[in-house]
Amino acid sequence: MNKKFWLLCFFAIISVIVGLFFGAADFSNRELLSCLVDSCSSEVNEMIFWEIRAPRVLVGFLVGAGLAVAGATLQNVTRNGLADPYLFGVVSGAGLGASIATLLFDSNFAESMGLLKLFPEISFSLALPFAAFFGALFSVILVQLLVTRTFGSKTEHMLLAGIAVSFMLSALSHFILFMAEPFAANKVIFWLMGSLARIETWYAWVILPVLIVSVSLLLLYGRHMDALLIGDENAKTLGVHVGRLRFLSLATCAALTACIVAYCGGIGFVGLMIPHIIRHWLGVTSRTLIIGCVLLGGAFLVWVDVIARIALPDQEIPIGIITSAIGSIFFLLAMRQRNT
Amino acid sequence: MPEKPNLIAMHINYKIATKAILSDIDISVHKGEVLGVLGPNGAGKTSLLKILSGQVFCQGNVFWKQKNLKEYSEMQRAQQIAVVNQINDSVFSLNLQQIVRMGLLPHSSLISRATPDDILRIAQALEKVGLTEKTQQTFNSLSGGEQQRGLIARALVQRADLIVLDEPVNHLDVYYQHQVLQLLTSLARSLNVTIIMSLHDVNLAAHYCDNVCLLNQGKLIAKGTPEAVFTTKQLSEVFRLPCAVTEGASNKSFHVNFYPPYQTDHHLTKGDC
């Protein structure tokens, strides 16, 4: 594992560095190196590099890492290899929360109804991740309730419940945006496809602490999460508080997904693919899986963002289109493997 | 003065919805005792084991070392009681070593690492169940018998004073049936570990258990030494089959034969029903 782990670390670092070389502004390699180790040749370049390009790569890495960790957590906790924040409705739940925050704090509707005066102290940027978190938590609890109380916990039931909740919450959030915004289409596209185009540096300072706390918690409870893999009953006989652990893991997963969706929209399939690759390559225990997901998930999204920036001339492809294209093929292959 | 039993279950009544699964059962088990729980399908064996190991709580009380099981935290219970349930597959292909290592969980904090002693204990447990060569093999790729022995190795690593096993020899061939039961009885003898297990094979129970209890339709029909409990009358009533008990030279060598219900003219010997 050690050799593979260091290889993955190296790949992640290289990905971040290479990611800095791509963007709309034309930088020479020499200029880039100079920006990295010393300072850029002009103030404009300095601003482009440190306020646009570097934050984008950094946030891209954090978003990929967070989504992969959330997917791995969902898969371990539900003992279901096809679980993913997108398929489980967590992304839609976070989207709904964010839409409600948009409605209340940042829309023509809020202005016309005088809602902005009701909450003058609460800024939109602060309300957004919290609203997304409660939306994500709501969807996780809803799917779990549907599965345990109504449908039964077979894999297909879990997936169907997740997809149904996902569609329901997406419909609600799109309706809210449609009612609140005269130009709702842009925001709907943002929630559907995700984007790193409007990244600001401070996004990283919101996502990074959430990622650090989440990953630390999950690493701390890694061995307990492993016990869940042999069934709730067996885990209980090993002294694991199954209900408490499951709630903690799902809340962590909701927090991670929420702060990502709030700023970058819905980016699908990262949480499905990366954990499978890590299990196959590095190992299946939770601690190995979580660390592997941080490194590979982050590197993966940096590369996807590079493709999004350079695939079409003078135009960016929304990042979710690329992850969904890769992910859907992966999903089909994973389903095929399960059936063979 | 006789030693107090380590485990005492009093007035156990267990219902699922309105159906009575267990009715007014009293059991006591001493330190180092091997107790077999026998009975036909649906007699309530698995439910009784779950209640005795604190997995399920019901009307009545179970005391382990003079303290009610309800007063133990989940972690304290896991430090005292190891459970080997019937096989269920692990997902995501954990290997045998990782499954056995889980036995350390009740004794480790969230941040502690496995010590050299822990590693040694895992290796010894795997050696005892004859699986040293298969440590890196995924659990799901092992045969049913190997999986069962792997779970027993996990119970050994758990360092519990009581091991509760639900049909531990169910998936094993004759050789490993004897090997596993020998291992469990030797644990009871050498480490004073109390063993409670459900079994289907009356002869294996007679050979390896110090005491047995016979259940039928949720009721305790008899409890005591195999010689006292396995009478032709009781066995034929509980299992609804004609049977013959052949007595051997020693207490442990008597043998029970069951016959198909339509075979009424079989050769009857002493003790036939």
B254 and B173 share a domain? no
Q: Which residues pair with B35 in a beta bridge?
A: B196, B211
Same domain, B269 and B208: no
- Is B1 inside any structural domain? no
Residue B43 burial (10 A CB sphere; 0-12, 13-18, 19+): buried
Cα separation, A58 vs A54, whole angstroms: 6
> What tokens does A320 get?
């979710």
Q: What are phi and psi of A284, to 5 degrees?
A: -105, -15
Binary contact (B105, A239; C-beta < 8 A)? yes
Residues B179 and B221 in one domain: yes
Nearest-Cα distance to chain A for B240, in Å, is: 33
Whether residue B223 is found in the same domain as residue B244: no
User: Is B177 a member of any domain?
Assistant: yes
Residue B41 has pLDDT above 70, yes or no: yes
Residue labelled with tokens 């499954």: B99
Nearest to A285 among B73, B77, B98 (CB): B98
Task: Say yes or no: B89 and B156 in one domain.
Answer: yes
Residue B183's pLDDT band, with cuts at 50, 70 and 90, is confident
Angle B149-B207-B132 from CA coordinates, rounded to 5°: 20
Q: What are phi and psi of B164, to 5 degrees?
A: -110, 125
Q: Answer yes or no: is B145 within a domain.
A: yes
Quote the domain boundaries for residue B268: 231-273
Residues 6+ apart with CB under 8 A from B140: B89, B90, B93
Reported pTM: 0.85
pLDDT for position B243:
83
Give the pLDDT confidence score for residue A119 in this predicted structure. 64
Alpha-carbon gap, residue A110 to B269, rounded angstroms = 94
Q: Are B197 and B250 contained in the same domain?
A: no
> Across residues A216-235, what is the average pLDDT?
91
Domain presence at residue B103: yes
Residue B188 maps to which CATH number?
3.40.50.300
Task: State yes or no: pLDDT of B271 exceeds 50.
Answer: no
**Shortest CB distance from B105 goes to which of A233, A238, A285?**
A238
Q: Which residue has the higher pLDDT, A107 or B16?
A: B16
Does residue B110 sit in the same domain as residue B235?
Answer: no
Asked if residue B145 and residue B58 are part of one domain, the reply reads yes
What's the CA gap between B95 and B86, in Å, rounded? 18
What does the alpha-carbon distance between residue A155 and residue A81 come to, in Å, rounded to a whole number?
9
Site from A1, A238, A284, A288 to mutate, B interface, most B CB atoms within 10 angstroms: A238
Residues of chain B found within 8 Å of residue A226, distances taken between Cβ atoms = 94, 98, 102
Determine the average pLDDT of the residues in A29-42: 81
Cβ contacts (< 8 Å) between A221 and chain B: which residues? 110
Same domain, B162 and B265: no
Q: Is residue B202 located within the same domain as residue B244?
A: no
d(CA A187, CA B58): 55
Residues B237 and B211 both lie in one domain: no
Among the candidates B195, B213, B230, a domain finishes at B230
CA distance B111 to chain A (A): 6
B146/A246 Cα distance (integer angstroms) = 30
The confidence score (pLDDT) of residue A1 equals 57
The number of domains in chain B is: 2
**C-alpha to C-alpha distance for A254 and A276, rounded to whole angstroms:** 20
Separation of alpha carbons A289 and A76, rounded Å: 10
Q: Which of A169-178, A308-317, B158-167 has the highest mean pLDDT?
A: B158-167
More confident of the two residues A115 and B109 = B109
Pairing verdict, β B67-68 and B194-198 = unpaired
For residue B87, being part of any structural domain is answered with yes
Q: Do B99 and A279 touch (CB under 8 A)?
A: no
Same structural domain for residues B96 and B212? yes
Asked if residue B2 is part of any domain, the answer here is: no
> What's the whole-number average pLDDT of chain B?
87
Percentage of chain B surpassing pLDDT 90? 48
Determine which of A73, A230, A277 to mutate to test the interface with B (most B C-beta atoms within 10 Å).
A230
- Structural domains in chain A, CATH included, are 50-339 (1.10.3470.10)
DSSP structural state of residue A149: I
Q: Confirm whether B84 is domain-assigned.
A: yes
Q: Which residue type occupies A230?
A: I
Query: How many distinct helices (H) and strands (E) make up chain A?
Result: 17, 0
Residue B156 domain flag = yes
**Region A199-207 average pLDDT:** 86
